[in-house]
């Protein structure tokens, strides 16, 4: 199976291109962003050596679905998806923070809590909690928005404001939007028999307005549990059955890789790659409630270039 791991397009009016961990973002006419969701996959802030077929299509289409479903809460950057792996939208000035919201104590928050820490990003966490336990109310634990190759860093609300990264008025709006989006995502997940455990949102400004940018509610940016088995597994103290990229991290950790210096990524055999691809498709179908329609991958680059070029002629 073919996978798209890098792009080098040259569109009319193109100003520059930014190659992120998994997305390539082209600025066109200073006003539009063309975001290509490649099949690259990252874990522990490292881009793995093999692409995962259909991953980019799956992530792009889930993000598009949730952007459309939340546009009544906050304006977002999306204008169109002219290709299964592409979203074209408005160029916004991104805020230098990511809004992470957590409904349950798990992942990095649990690892921090287990080490004895009882405060995450300025939010106090009560004693006596267990892994995967639901918080009384969702909490927001923001991080800095790191440059490529660097790690995001936890930051408190007070630090964000004291450093002038965001104004008080803007931050209050970001918190309000974050909670409203998380509630909507939680409701949509529940309709699919899922629990939206935690996720992150990125925002930007344009013409004095706040916009939701990037992807939302995808398994790369979010964690989901299966609602049906949650309570039984929690009561037994067993690992939750979940829908997220966590299975990739677990495979890497089992094979001695956590992104630390000197560690080597385990061999990604064709069988491993195909297995990850199928798992991602399973994630898509469970999260979206739709069958996954595999796009033609005989010449992905030519297909994408054609679709984007034709769309740009209309704007």
Task: Report the pLDDT value the prediction gives residue 150, as an integer from 0 to 100.
Answer: 52
Backbone angles phi, psi at 265, to 5 degrees: -65, 130
Burial 170-184 (b: 16+ CB within 10 A, else e): bbebbeebbbebbeb
Would 9 be classed as within a structural domain? no
Number of domain units in the chain: 1
Q: Please report, for the domain that includes residue 157, its CATH number.
A: 3.30.470.20
First to last CA, the chain: 33
- Spatial contact of 42 and 8, defined as CB atoms under 8 Å apart: no
Would 135 be classed as within a structural domain? yes
Neighbours of 163 (CB within 10 A): 12
Task: Report the pLDDT value the prediction gives residue 311, as an integer from 0 to 100.
Answer: 97
Would 300 be classed as within a structural domain? no
Task: Report the pLDDT value the prediction gives residue 149, as an integer from 0 to 100.
Answer: 47
Strand pairing partners for 226? 194
Domain span at residue 133?
Answer: 94-243
Nearest CA among 85, 123, 90 for reference residue 105: 123
Would 315 be classed as within a structural domain? no
CA dist 303 and 280 (Å) reads 22
Task: Report the pLDDT value the prediction gives residue 100, as an integer from 0 to 100.
Answer: 97
Burial 185-210 (b: 16+ CB within 10 A, else e): bbebbeebebbbbbbbbbbbeeeeeb
Global pTM value = 0.90
CA dist 181 and 142 (Å) reads 15
Task: Report the pLDDT value the prediction gives residue 86, as an integer from 0 to 100.
Answer: 98
Mean pLDDT by 10 residues, the chain (315 residues): 94 95 93 97 92 96 97 98 98 96 95 95 96 97 73 88 96 98 97 96 97 93 94 96 84 93 94 92 92 96 98 94
- Spatial contact of 281 and 292, defined as CB atoms under 8 Å apart: yes
Would 162 be classed as within a structural domain? yes
Nearest CA among 99, 220, 95, 217 for reference residue 155: 99
Would 53 be classed as within a structural domain? no
Would 206 be classed as within a structural domain? yes
Would 201 be classed as within a structural domain? yes
């Amino acid at each position: 199976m073919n996978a798209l791991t890098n792009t080098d397009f040259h569109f009319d009016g193109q100003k520059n291109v930014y190659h992120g961990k998994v997305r390539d973002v082209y600025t066109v006419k200073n006003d539009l962003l063309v975001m290509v969701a490649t099949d690259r996959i990252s874990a522990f802030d490292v881009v793995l050596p093999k692409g995962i077929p259909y991953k980019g299509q799956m992530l792009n289409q889930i993000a598009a679905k949730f952007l459309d479903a939340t546009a009544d809460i906050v304006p977002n950057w999306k204008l169109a998806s002219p290709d299964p792996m592409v979203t074209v939208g408005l160029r916004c000035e991104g805020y230098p923070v990511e809004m992470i919201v957590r409904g349950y104590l798990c992942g990095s928050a649990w690892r921090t809590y287990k080490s004895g820490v009882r405060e995450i990003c300025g939010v106090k966490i009560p004693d006596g909690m267990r892994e995967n336990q639901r918080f009384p109310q969702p909490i927001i634990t923001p991080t800095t928005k790191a440059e490529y190759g660097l790690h995001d860093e936890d930051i408190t609300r007070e630090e964000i404001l004291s450093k002038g990264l965001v104004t008080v008025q803007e931050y209050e709006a970001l918190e309000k939007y974050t909670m409203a989006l998380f509630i909507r995502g939680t409701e949509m997940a529940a309709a699919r028999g899922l629990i939206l455990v935690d996720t992150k949102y990125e925002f930007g400004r344009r013409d004095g307005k706040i916009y939701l940018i990037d992807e939302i509610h995808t398994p790369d940016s979010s964690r989901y549990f299966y609602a049906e088995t949650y309570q039984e597994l929690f009561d037994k103290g067993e690992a939750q059955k979940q829908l997220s990229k966590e299975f990739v991290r677990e495979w890497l950790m089992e094979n001695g890789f956590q992104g630390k210096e000197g560690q080597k990524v385990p061999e990604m055999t064709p069988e491993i790659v195909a297995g990850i691809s199928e798992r991602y498709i399973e994630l898509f179908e469970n999260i979206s409630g739709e069958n996954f329609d595999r796009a033609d991958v005989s010449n992905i680059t030519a297909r994408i270039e054609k679709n984007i070029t034709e769309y740009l002629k209309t704007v």
